[in-house]
Structure 1
Amino acid sequence: MSHAAYVFDAYGTLFDVHAAVRRHADAVGPDGQLLSEIWRAKQLEYSWTRALMGQWRDFWALTEEALDHAFERVPSADKGARAQLLDAYFKLDCYPEVPAVLKRLKAAGARVAILSNGSTEMLASAVENAALGAVIDDVFSVDSLQTFKTDPTVYDLVTTSYRLYPDAVSFQSSNRWDIAGATKFGFRTVWINRAKMPDEYLDLSPSLILPDLNGVG
């Protein structure tokens, strides 16, 4: 392995953020995809806004609030599915390639970790549901800092804990804004462009762009 640690964002990178709505598509109704997209967009927007104004609410609270907003924006979606969707989000599916990729990295002797805006409880549940506990060494949550990415102190959780220089860490995320923040911090970055989105933050380019986690390492 060319890096001492391989650190992964959780939501959208390891875990499919749209799996919750997809799992309960019949209950939600025909506009489920729109609901899911608004839910995710607002969840992220709320985290950035809260971080900037120093008004902390944990990521699960923001997830609930974002879903409620999405229901208001998509009146055709059945609000009766709210509890089912939140339960499913707490137990998100991982992407198909994730277990094998993490197992390979760990077997090669690298540290494997998660660095996420997710709350400690959310991340523990997702890891357990996906049966990834045996291949993940550490889970770093922003809970201890009470702020969110792209605050540099979030990325510093890894370097401080592992006593590594940033360039010894390979950081993988599906979120281009997260890749920009991690690049600015000094990590080697890999953008997992699952959605085939156009590039942005052109002054903070990733080291590598991949369509999924196969090829990380």
Structure 2
Amino acid sequence: MKSILKVAIALVLTTGAAQAQGINIGAKGSLNLTNIPKFTVIESLGQDLKYMATGGGALFAEIPLDANFSFRPEIAYNRRGGKLEGLNLGSGTIGQIIGNLANARLNLDYIDIPLLFKYNISTEGEGSPYVVAGPSLGFMVGHTMSNSILGLIDLNYNVNMNFKNFDLGGVVGLGYEMPLNGKMKGFVEATYRQGFLNAVDNFGPVKVDSKTSNFGISAGVSFPVGK
């Protein structure tokens, strides 16, 4: 874990001295809708995971490549997973009643390192729309299941479903940034992240489909350094 953080910090904060005067650094917070749309383990029980809301945050550096393009590496914390609305507790009356009153959330915690390229659609005027795209590396740092019954009883426990420690995905997004006080800029951004690898390894010969997807809305600030 320490080596992951060292690599991430180096990616975010290190660049060539020749371009240091043009670098911006910043932070953002995110509201995410996340799911594992085709989770084989859950589908085998006759159920499916639905999108759940989670929070996240990131630190980033923005390194200009030319007038419109920049490289934006990040280090981020995000929670992925999904939720069950009503548990399958059997065909009996009691099982159906309790199952309909209960819900469950699969929480997969990641340190992500998105390596994004940003293109400013317009550099004229005070505000600027932009697009971002690029790969994202993910390192799982936790996995839990949480249950709530009638909103009164909350159960949280660790689960081990042969989870993979590494995740690889792709990110695309659209944003708008605007000047704030001084040289500081503010921005809002909408992104979509699709996992390319399964979050759960196969169980022997049984193949498990468990690729994550995530819609995010973010807001943040950035400011120049080195000058």
Higher helix share goes to which structure?
A: 1
Give TM-score, length-normalised by structure 2.
0.22
Larger Cα-atom Rg: 2
Q: Relative contact order (alpha carbons < 8 A, sep ≥ 6): 1 or 2 greater?
A: 1
Q: Which has the higher strand share?
A: 2
Q: Give me the TM-score of the superposition, normalised by structure 1.
A: 0.22
